[in-house]
Amino acid sequence: QVQLVESGGGSVQAGGSLRLSCVASGYTYSSHCMGWFRQAPGKEREGVAFMYTDGTYEYYADSVKGRFTISQDNAKNTVYLQMNSLKPEDTAMYYCAARFSQSGYYCARSPQLQNYWGQGTQVTVSS
């Protein structure tokens, strides 16, 4: 059974940094899409960063480009989201997601197309 477990959320002041982790287990796919989404109260879930784990694709939403970085440690089956220069508008529940039904060079970014989700980790940025 596929499991995604996020950690690393917390409260930080504007301008600060956090690193989120997503540990994946229970699958044997060698390459696949991993994405980070966020959802603020009253808003739709939005994708902020995606990567194909063979390194052929990476994407950032305009709202986080230049501030967030997605990366992976294959030995630890872990995907990270480094978040720098955080702003109050980054406050949200952050989720990692995996999509296995995808070839390389592109990752579908719609929440409806993700195959598995983690439970989420809260990020709160104060001004």
Looking at residue 87, what is its pLDDT? 98
Q: Of 85, 122, 117, which Cα lies nearest the Cα of 5?
A: 117
pLDDT digits (tens, 9 = 90+) for 11-47: 999 999 999 999 999 987 778 999 999 999 999 999 9
Looking at residue 34, what is its pLDDT? 96
Cα–Cα dist 23/44, whole Å: 24
Mean confidence (pLDDT) of the chain: 95
**Is 59's pLDDT higher than 80?**
yes
pLDDT digits (tens, 9 = 90+) for 70-105: 999 988 999 999 999 999 999 999 999 999 877 778
